[in-house]
Amino acid sequence: MVKIKSIHDLERIKNQTLEKELKSNQKKVVVGMGTCGISAGAGEVMEAIQDEIKKRNLTDVVVTPTGCIGLCVQEPLVEVTVPGKEKVAFCLVDAAKGRQIVEQYLVNGIVNEDWVVNY
Protein backbone atom coordinates (compact mmCIF):
# COMPACT_ATOMS: atom_id res chain seq x y z
CA MET A 1 0.00 0.00 0.00
CA VAL A 2 1.30 3.42 -0.99
CA LYS A 3 1.21 6.11 1.65
CA ILE A 4 0.68 9.65 0.48
CA LYS A 5 2.26 12.13 2.84
CA SER A 6 2.35 15.24 0.68
CA ILE A 7 1.12 16.82 -2.53
CA HIS A 8 4.47 15.87 -4.08
CA ASP A 9 3.75 12.18 -3.41
CA LEU A 10 0.37 12.55 -5.09
CA GLU A 11 1.91 14.33 -8.10
CA ARG A 12 4.57 11.62 -8.42
CA ILE A 13 1.93 8.86 -8.40
CA LYS A 14 -0.16 10.77 -10.94
CA ASN A 15 2.82 11.23 -13.26
CA GLN A 16 3.80 7.57 -12.97
CA THR A 17 0.25 6.51 -13.80
CA LEU A 18 0.02 8.85 -16.79
CA GLU A 19 3.39 7.63 -18.05
CA LYS A 20 2.18 4.01 -17.83
CA GLU A 21 -0.96 4.87 -19.75
CA LEU A 22 1.03 6.61 -22.48
CA LYS A 23 3.17 3.51 -22.96
CA SER A 24 0.16 1.21 -23.01
CA ASN A 25 -1.57 0.31 -26.26
CA GLN A 26 -4.73 -0.64 -24.42
CA LYS A 27 -7.98 1.19 -24.92
CA LYS A 28 -9.82 2.07 -21.73
CA VAL A 29 -13.56 2.30 -21.13
CA VAL A 30 -14.70 3.81 -17.84
CA VAL A 31 -18.36 3.58 -16.84
CA GLY A 32 -19.71 6.01 -14.24
CA MET A 33 -21.11 3.79 -11.49
CA GLY A 34 -21.93 6.34 -8.82
CA THR A 35 -25.40 6.20 -7.31
CA CYS A 36 -26.77 8.44 -10.05
CA GLY A 37 -25.17 6.33 -12.80
CA ILE A 38 -26.45 3.07 -11.35
CA SER A 39 -29.98 4.44 -10.99
CA ALA A 40 -29.84 5.62 -14.62
CA GLY A 41 -28.85 2.13 -15.86
CA ALA A 42 -25.05 2.12 -15.81
CA GLY A 43 -24.97 -1.53 -14.69
CA GLU A 44 -26.76 -2.65 -17.85
CA VAL A 45 -24.54 -0.36 -19.94
CA MET A 46 -21.38 -1.87 -18.47
CA GLU A 47 -22.67 -5.42 -19.06
CA ALA A 48 -23.56 -4.60 -22.68
CA ILE A 49 -20.14 -3.06 -23.36
CA GLN A 50 -18.33 -6.02 -21.79
CA ASP A 51 -20.50 -8.45 -23.75
CA GLU A 52 -19.89 -6.66 -27.06
CA ILE A 53 -16.13 -6.57 -26.42
CA LYS A 54 -16.19 -10.29 -25.68
CA LYS A 55 -18.29 -11.08 -28.78
CA ARG A 56 -15.81 -9.18 -30.95
CA ASN A 57 -12.83 -10.79 -29.21
CA LEU A 58 -11.24 -7.41 -28.50
CA THR A 59 -8.26 -8.13 -26.29
CA ASP A 60 -6.87 -4.57 -26.22
CA VAL A 61 -9.74 -3.02 -24.23
CA VAL A 62 -10.04 -2.67 -20.47
CA VAL A 63 -13.43 -1.84 -18.95
CA THR A 64 -13.55 -0.41 -15.44
CA PRO A 65 -16.17 1.19 -13.22
CA THR A 66 -15.63 4.49 -11.46
CA GLY A 67 -17.56 6.54 -8.97
CA CYS A 68 -19.47 9.69 -9.74
CA ILE A 69 -18.12 11.57 -12.75
CA GLY A 70 -20.01 14.71 -11.73
CA LEU A 71 -22.64 15.23 -14.41
CA CYS A 72 -25.59 13.42 -12.89
CA VAL A 73 -28.07 14.78 -15.44
CA GLN A 74 -26.00 13.18 -18.25
CA GLU A 75 -25.76 9.69 -16.71
CA PRO A 76 -24.99 7.02 -17.64
CA LEU A 77 -21.62 8.43 -18.72
CA VAL A 78 -18.96 6.39 -20.48
CA GLU A 79 -15.43 7.73 -20.96
CA VAL A 80 -13.31 6.09 -23.66
CA THR A 81 -9.56 6.55 -23.95
CA VAL A 82 -7.79 5.40 -27.10
CA PRO A 83 -3.99 5.70 -27.21
CA GLY A 84 -2.92 8.74 -29.22
CA LYS A 85 -6.35 10.39 -29.07
CA GLU A 86 -8.16 12.65 -26.62
CA LYS A 87 -10.53 11.04 -24.15
CA VAL A 88 -14.14 11.00 -25.34
CA ALA A 89 -17.06 11.11 -22.91
CA PHE A 90 -20.39 9.75 -24.10
CA CYS A 91 -23.56 10.77 -22.26
CA LEU A 92 -27.02 9.32 -21.75
CA VAL A 93 -25.69 5.91 -22.76
CA ASP A 94 -28.03 2.94 -22.70
CA ALA A 95 -27.15 -0.68 -23.45
CA ALA A 96 -27.76 -0.27 -27.21
CA LYS A 97 -25.58 2.87 -27.38
CA GLY A 98 -22.90 1.07 -25.37
CA ARG A 99 -22.76 -1.69 -27.99
CA GLN A 100 -22.64 0.91 -30.76
CA ILE A 101 -19.79 2.75 -29.03
CA VAL A 102 -17.79 -0.49 -29.12
CA GLU A 103 -18.52 -1.00 -32.82
CA GLN A 104 -18.29 2.59 -34.01
CA TYR A 105 -15.46 3.98 -31.90
CA LEU A 106 -13.39 1.13 -30.51
CA VAL A 107 -13.50 -0.94 -33.71
CA ASN A 108 -13.92 1.65 -36.49
CA GLY A 109 -12.61 4.87 -34.91
CA ILE A 110 -15.83 6.83 -35.57
CA VAL A 111 -17.13 9.15 -32.84
CA ASN A 112 -20.87 9.83 -32.85
CA GLU A 113 -20.71 13.53 -31.94
CA ASP A 114 -24.41 13.56 -31.00
CA TRP A 115 -23.61 11.41 -27.96
CA VAL A 116 -20.51 13.31 -26.78
CA VAL A 117 -20.52 15.58 -23.76
CA ASN A 118 -17.81 18.18 -23.32
CA TYR A 119 -16.84 19.05 -19.77
Helix runs in 1-119, H state only: 7-23, 35-39, 42-55, 95-101
Domain extent, residue 50, equals 24-115
**pTM of the entire predicted model:** 0.81
In this structure, is residue 7 part of a structural domain?
A: no
Number of domains, the chain: 1
In this structure, is residue 110 part of a structural domain?
A: yes
Contact 63, 53 (CB under 8 A): yes
| Percentages of the chain per state (helix, strand, coil), in multiples of 5 | 45, 15, 35
Query: Looking at residue 111, which CATH number applies to its domain?
Result: 3.40.30.10
Within a 10 A sphere around the Cβ of 79, how many other Cβ atoms?
17
Indicate the length of the chain as a whole number.
119
- The one-letter amino acid at 116: V
* Residue bearing the bigger pLDDT, 111 or 14: 111
In this structure, is residue 11 part of a structural domain?
A: no
The pLDDT tens digits for 63-91 are 999 999 889 999 999 999 998 899 999 99
Q: What is the rounded CA–CA span in Å between residue 119 and residue 117?
A: 6
In this structure, is residue 35 part of a structural domain?
A: yes
Over residues 24-48, mean pLDDT = 94
